Structure 1
């Protein structure tokens, strides 16, 4: 009898034990989910002081220019406190579009894109550094950007006095020789460990009408205007219906919804229409070819591609869909909804300069440990085949003709150096230039955009010339 009562008494205990076991299992499962799947979010939480202390517990790798100047480094943090090392930027405003910044709570630029390498968290960096000296230090990054060319690009923009951007590329490799955006900001102001001051600085920069935090070179798109005539001309040559000496019809039907610059002659050659940047001629070509052919050629240059990282992510340039005939005509002269980044504007010239082969742009030349041992080096690779070498030669000749004495691109000419260029400095809200030099043996291609320059639009040619001269010096 006593055994039966005992068994009855144990039933609630067993149920309670099962309930407690289930609750314990759920608790352990939740902890596992939080620790494993929520680790990234927890580490990024501004309240996680432990994660922040760990982030600044050891020095990150240096960021250097191609010629060896250190533009970002770590130093012992002043005044003690929980954070041991602080980031310091040399010529911060000059290099900010490239280096970005590392702050208590976020990062940008190369600091963000190459965080694992710079911090030493990358598996390859950890293994190699521990084998060499037993310390998992961050690796150094040498950029493709050179001091002289970057300086020329930024200060030419600054002298122009309006927001804008410059990108310079080595056509043969894709190496980015300069990447400048104006106005800029000083990353040192964001490297502070004073959270209140940091929040105030970020708020001021984000609310500034000139948007200094915006990397215009990679992440702002503009109507390409006359520079898009390179795309239209390439499509025309590829169609087999045009040669540089072919006559172009400039009588447009139906009438267009926006005024266009007319040609001085009724039926100029393609070469003459390009040299004088005749809108009605290129609109006529667009109408004859149709939007699908223009779009295919634009995509061959990289329009519409969402895979471009240098390693900073670049906003895609776009060519519109579903246009009627008037809009197709406007798109052929870089208007309507055509949009391009300054990087793309430089890529147009780089493709022409490299016999129609567009190399993938890149910013990081090599990665090495502090002891100098090399961990990785950039390998140039083709990104797009935009046209045949013969058609690229035709376009290069047309671009070089426009820069000769008396031509519309003469302001970008360099004494003793033949320059090939396409300038769009009238009839649009922005001024643009794309160019390469020397025309016969290209070493540098450049893209320039100036926002709302007004009557000073012609200075865009001077900005392009200054960057070309610096790169060739």
Structure 2
């Protein structure tokens, strides 16, 4: 064979093999990547107008795809009671993509999960549409509505209610809220106008406040301080502590003071339980400087602070307690839930739930089950332990002090027909006369069923205190099995 002809033959064979390989890759190996690539507008339009799986609460859809009269899309994504659930479901928009559970559960809802491969194959053979899987949430619709009603119109607030021994989320809601249907419309122009109006009104449609909005937790952080103090061996519930009205700090001009006009000004010394129940600042700051930062940081991280890996499956913004070395003056303020300390409503709920659960913190869980189009069970998440945060003995001591807080302390107005253990918190935010008001606790005390956390942002002190202590009893009575 002529050498030139032989080289040409080799070249043709090589080109043929490359073409075969490329076709095989496109059709087999890379098909899924190409299909789901963000630049594949054909697939985007196909999925957006397809019969996406529903998101359910107590068997009723809070998000579903219904047949559309549109000439462009066969289905319209519809959100029912959107103000109650917008932070959780998020939205599915042709303009802005997916957020919330629509994004986190997209493989199930769109039917593209590997677990639905056989179903997709059957649909391809029969020509049927792929309706995706249905996702049932752990939420209690009555609890969700009751929680939402506890946040007044015009107030920024969040409420979280969880089942103590499983971590199941029974209610998680916030205000300001919005109508997710406004962003799911087929018209991209209309969706853009609606998004502009939402942003201009101050609503953030990309954030679920109870998990993503962190704020200074104020004296609810004293739950962490108290645990560190008890674990140190230097304190028990009856330890008598000095209660100065003012505590000078090293290298700082402004001292730590107790709340003006409060019960802490009535005593020069008191038992630890009384100090905790009345939320006196100066003893906690002095104890922190005596113990140092490390034991407080250790306790905080056992409950979830500084952990950015928590998902429910919504992503959870990591709550923060400084892990870099703090000067005593900064530490004395940080342990009061001020300075750079930040926490989400979910994080403070995990602390209360862990104490109620004899020291065991459960992973918060929002998904109850996932079922295929023929209602076959695909996934049923089981309760998972996040950490064994504290001993049963320490949990019992904390329960005793939190009980006293409601019986004769800062949360006395929270007394209800169901016995509650709780801790209040007020965080100064640098705006005159405005604070963040918190309360976190659990009930019933003798047989804990639920942990409840409420936070109201940027409110007057008197308004915030009334909303927290009055409303924790209301939500407990609404959700606890009596």
Short-chain TM bin: 0.7 to 0.9
| Structure-2 change in CA distance of 1:228 and 1:40 (3 Å) | farther
Confirm or deny: 8 A CA contact 1:425 1:460 kept in the other structure: no
Find the counterpart in structure 1 of residue 54 from structure 2: 62
| Structure-2 change in CA distance of 1:170 and 1:401 (3 Å) | same
Gaps (5+ residues) in structure 2?
430-434
Confirm or deny: 8 A CA contact 1:184 1:213 kept in the other structure: no
> By how many angstroms is 1:216 displaced?
1.2
TM-score by length of 2: 0.86
TM-score by length of 1: 0.88
Confirm or deny: 8 A CA contact 1:285 1:332 kept in the other structure: no
SS in 2 for 1:268: strand
Say which of 324, 339, 344 aligns to 1:341: 344
Pair 1:457 & 2:464 matched: yes
What does 1:350-429 align with in structure 2 at a 5 Å threshold? Answer: 350-404=353-407, 406-415=408-417, 417-425=418-426, 429=435
Find the counterpart in structure 1 of residue 75 from structure 2: 85
> For 2:308 and 2:189, how far apart are their aligned partners in 1?
37
> By how many angstroms is 1:30 displaced?
13
Pair 1:101 & 2:91 matched: yes
Pair 1:313 & 2:310 matched: no
> By how many angstroms is 1:470 displaced?
1.9
Confirm or deny: 8 A CA contact 2:256 2:281 kept in the other structure: no
> For 2:36 and 2:404, how far apart are their aligned partners in 1?
60
Find the counterpart in structure 1 of residue 277 from structure 2: 275
- The number of equivalent residue pairs is 459
> For 2:383 and 2:355, how far apart are their aligned partners in 1?
17
SS in 1 for 2:151: helix
Confirm or deny: 8 A CA contact 1:248 1:285 kept in the other structure: no
Confirm or deny: 8 A CA contact 1:182 1:212 kept in the other structure: no
Pair 1:238 & 2:231 matched: yes
> For 2:137 and 2:284, how far apart are their aligned partners in 1?
39
Confirm or deny: 8 A CA contact 1:287 1:329 kept in the other structure: yes
> By how many angstroms is 1:43 displaced?
3.6
Say which of 149, 163, 166 aligns to 2:159: 166
> For 1:387 and 1:290, how far apart are their aligned partners in 2?
19
- Between Structure 1 and Structure 2, the one with more strand by share is 2
Instruction: Tell me the C-alpha RMSD between the 2 structures.
Output: 3.2
Confirm or deny: 8 A CA contact 2:363 2:384 kept in the other structure: yes
CA-to-partner distance for each residue in 1:7-31, whole Å, 9 max, x for gaps? 9xx89xx99x989x99x979x9899
> For 2:156 and 2:401, how far apart are their aligned partners in 1?
30
Gaps (5+ residues) in structure 1?
1-5
> By how many angstroms is 1:205 displaced?
2.2
> For 1:129 and 1:332, how far apart are their aligned partners in 2?
54
Pair 1:118 & 2:109 matched: yes
> For 1:129 and 1:411, how far apart are their aligned partners in 2?
57
What does 1:150-299 align with in structure 2 at a 5 Å threshold? Answer: 150-159=144-153, 161-250=154-243, 252-254=247-249, 257=254, 259-261=256-258, 263-264=264-265, 265-299=267-301
CA-to-partner distance for each residue in 1:133-179, whole Å, 9 max, x for gaps? 976531111101110111011111135x4111111111100001111
